[in-house]
Amino acid sequence: EVQLVESGGGLVQPGGSLRLSCAASGFTFGSAWMSWVRQAPGKGLEWVANIKQDGSEKYYVDSVKGRFTISRDNAKKSLYLQMNSLRAEDTAVYYCASSPYWGQGTLVIVSS
């Protein structure tokens, strides 16, 4: 059974940092492009970042460039999102995804 399990979300103050993790199982993680997608409360889906199988290529939506870093550890079958300089508008459920597989999401709230 394929599983993507996110963790690391929570409440953080504006300007703070969080590191999200995604543990994968049940598929060949090292052969898959991986993505982070977020959804603010009551809003649509927003692609955040993705990373090539070997980590050699990474892409970000403009609003997070310079603040977020996507990375992966194929030996641990894990995906990460380091989020710095967080803003209120980063508040969302963050999903780890590799189509057609999605995690259940982890909630990040940026608020003082």
* Site residues for other proteins per CB under 8 A: 33, 35, 37, 44-47, 50, 59, 61-62, 95, 99-100, 102-105
Distance of alpha carbon 6 from alpha carbon 106, whole angstroms? 6
3-state SS class at 31: helix
Minimum CB–partner distance for residue 14 and other proteins (Å): 26
Looking at the Cβ atoms of 100 and 112, the one nearer to other proteins is: 100
Minimum CB–partner distance for residue 26 and other proteins (Å): 15
Looking at the Cβ atoms of 17 and 28, the one nearer to other proteins is: 28
Q: Where are the alpha helices (DSSP H) in the chain?
A: none
Distance of alpha carbon 35 from alpha carbon 109, whole angstroms? 20
Q: What is the DSSP letter of 103?
A: -
Looking at the Cβ atoms of 1 and 62, the one nearer to other proteins is: 62
- What tokens does 5 get? 């399990």
